[in-house]
């Protein structure tokens, strides 16, 4: 949940963006899990 919310310490970016993980689309959690499983 917090991986996809903007964070002030990261300049308004999501932690996923700061880590270089592409999480686009409606189901961002699924996208993240699929990337982790690959």
Mean pLDDT split into 10-residue runs, the chain, 38 residues: 84 88 82 83
Whether residue 15 contacts residue 21, with contact meaning beta carbons closer than 8 Å, is answered with no
pLDDT of 16: 84
pLDDT of 1: 64
Q: How many domains does the chain have?
A: 1
**Rg of the chain in Å (alpha carbons):** 10
pLDDT of 21: 80
Q: Domain limits at 15? A: 2-37
> Residue 32 corresponds to which tokens in the numbers above?
């993240």
Residue 12 has a CB neighbour count (10 Å cut-off) of 9
Cα separation of 24 and 36, whole Å? Answer: 15
> Residue 5 corresponds to which tokens in the numbers above?
């919310």
pTM: predicted TM-score of the whole model, two decimal places? 0.57
> Residue 4 corresponds to which tokens in the numbers above?
């996809």
């Amino acid at each position: 949940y917090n991986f996809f919310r903007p964070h002030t310490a990261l300049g308004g970016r999501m932690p996923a963006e700061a880590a270089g993980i592409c999480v686009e689309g409606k189901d961002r959690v699924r996208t993240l899990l699929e990337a982790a499983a690959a």
